[in-house]
Amino acid sequence: MDEPKKILLIDDEIDLQQLIKTVLSSKGYNVTTADNGQDGLEKLEAADPDLIILDMNMPKMGGVEFYQRICDAWSQPKYPILILTARANMEEFFKGMDIDGFMAKPFEIDDLLTEVHRILAKRSGAARAAKPRDANQPAKVCIAETDAPTRDKIGAAFLDAGYLVHMVHSGTEAIEHIFTMVPEIALISFGLHDISGDAVIAKLKKMPKTQDVKFILYTEDKPEKAIIAQEMSKNAGIEHFVKYQNVPDLTLAVNEVLKPNR
């Protein structure tokens, strides 16, 4: 019989901490709790966790400093991390953290359980393949574009093409939205105003829940932008990069990427 998975839960909201511990323990997990980052560091070696659930805003030592303290020489965390955060914190940590998932407070406890199971299963190689989409249902596409007129044009084109369209205006919002809705495909502008599109895709591809989403990084077909964007997409391991002149170029690209599933 497999030993229970070990979880280190670090959160200064004691009522929430105890609720999460009770629920996780009832599902067979071995849970160690800590009230802040410093407390978490002191308990880390003994806990030897398979997963750390980490709050961001805490006294003595917050989530960002704790995260930095458990990273290796290459700035990679030594343990899987599930972040608990209020939405206002998201832009800061998404710019510099490699995590396995996040839950935006407030959240449903069942959603937290699902995410814990997903991360541990993926890390152990036991995750199931995603359920295929019903062929009779239109594909979901998330479009991340900072420029409002451009975003509206692209969104209208995909609605006309029969897609279920979700539009966001920033990299931070794209990460949150794509993580929540898990679309079939995400169309991400390179020139988002807060986090570059390649960084958004790279982060989402590292999260077990969203790593199988099909991503397209795009930019206008202008030499000074396109050369940089294409090079960054290669560095990030992004399979699909599009330089577009007209919006139909983007719909054609998405159709091509989704062709085996349509």
Q: Specify whether the backbone of 60 is left (phi greater than 0), alpha (psi in -120 to 50) or beta.
A: left
Tell me, rounded to whole angstroms, the distance of Cα 149 from its chain centroid.
Answer: 26
Q: For the chain, how many residues are written? A: 262
pTM recorded for the entire structure: 0.69
Q: What per-residue confidence (pLDDT) applies to 223?
A: 66
How does pLDDT run across 102-139, given as a tens digit for each residue?
888 888 899 899 889 888 887 776 444 444 455 567 88
The Cα–Cα gap between 183 and 170 comes to 17
Alpha carbon distance 33, 131 (integer Å): 34
Segments in the chain below pLDDT 50: 126-132, 262
What distance in Å separates the CA atoms of residue 42 and residue 34, rounded to the nearest whole number? 9
Kind of pairing between the strands at 51-55 and 101-104: unpaired
| Measured distance CA(63)–CA(40) in Å, rounded | 10
pLDDT of residue 206: 85
